[in-house]
Structure 1
Amino acid sequence: MFETPFTVVGTIITDPIRRRVGDQEVYKFRVASNSRRRTAEGQWEPGNSLYVGVNCWGSKLVKGVGASLGKGDPVIVVGYVYTSEYDDRGGVRRSSLEVRATAVGPDLSRCIATIDRPKATGAGSGDAADTQDDASEGGEAGEADEVADGKALPLSA
């Protein structure tokens, strides 16, 4: 099956809804991606807008998005785009652009986020990030770190 990869940067504009479909869960919300451009006078004016429905499937993605993001949050969504067709209440045939998300995260150019990494369940998980986290715990901010609200933020994260 041919799927079209898609990335959108925007803002969540609806309250996310978590639903159960059969034995799976889905988390749905809409994203608006608004462009703007600079006029000849140097002022910013609004440009075109793109509205897309986002469907998050899979327990890990549903859990992460549900615990982290909500209406008004700036996000980056990666997934596969498709057109959903339906009949509205008046019987008129409509279509909407939707994304089946494979990854969703906060847009760090427009917000600050805290990463909550689950602890490894087995000894010696072999993950380099775990080793780096263990080495940096309890230490002060180094040259490769920034400090925000009294917390050291590694630039490599």
Structure 2
Amino acid sequence: MSGFEIPVTITGHLGQDPKFYSKDGSASAVRVSVAFTPREFDRRRGDWVQRPTVWHDVVAFGQLADNVHASLRKGDPVIVVGKLRDNSYTRESRQEGGEDILVRRTDLRADYVGLDLNRATVAVTKNRRPEPQADEQADQPAQEAQTTG
């Protein structure tokens, strides 16, 4: 099924700890649910009214997935920037001769995930860059000699 992609930014709280997925130790992914409960001021009542909670399924890949899994826990306030994508599928009918059923779903493919600093503080630990390979280190002095001579 052809899908759509819409850039969005959401805020909310994690509904559970991030669920981490990895195939053979290679490409990693993490899935989280982000809850947002809108509040509006009702002028007639002169009070704030809470609306029903809206849940968003969020998925992240690679280094972002690793960082989300290592850093965030249930209840943490987050800001997510990414693309809302069509994740719909067709399920075969459970009745013989019945029509297949279109299940409409979306998920948010995260490009960025951060702690919402309006609601929490954080201590930053930067990712370490991988060390150069042995053959890359051997090339560095030769390259430096060429540029200085």
Which residue of structure 1 lines up, in the alignment, with residue 125 of structure 2?
A: 116
Structure 2's unaligned 5+ residue stretches are 95-99, 132-149
Distance 1:89 1:65, change over 3 A: farther
Letter in 2 for 1:54: V
Distance 1:30 1:120, change over 3 A: closer
Distance 1:48 1:67, change over 3 A: same
Contact preservation (8 Å) 2:7, 2:84: yes
**TM-score normalised by length of structure 2:** 0.68
Please state which structure has a larger fraction of its residues in helix: 2
Contact preservation (8 Å) 1:81, 1:100: yes
Alignment of 1:53-92 (within 5 A): 53-58=57-62, 60-86=63-89, 87=91
Letter in 2 for 1:46: Q
Alignment of 1:5-154 (within 5 A): 5-21=7-23, 23-40=26-43, 41-58=45-62, 60-86=63-89, 87=91, 93-118=102-127
1:57-89 Cα deviation digits (max 9, x unpaired): 11x212211111011111000111112124499
Letter in 1 for 2:117: L
**Number of residues of Structure 1 aligned to a counterpart in Structure 2:** 121
Please state which structure has a larger fraction of its residues in strand: 1
Query: Which one scores higher on RCO, CA 8 angstroms, separation ≥ 6?
Result: 2
RMSD: 2.8
**TM-score normalised by length of structure 1:** 0.65
Percent of aligned positions that are identical: 30
Q: Bigger radius of gyration, 1 or 2?
A: 2
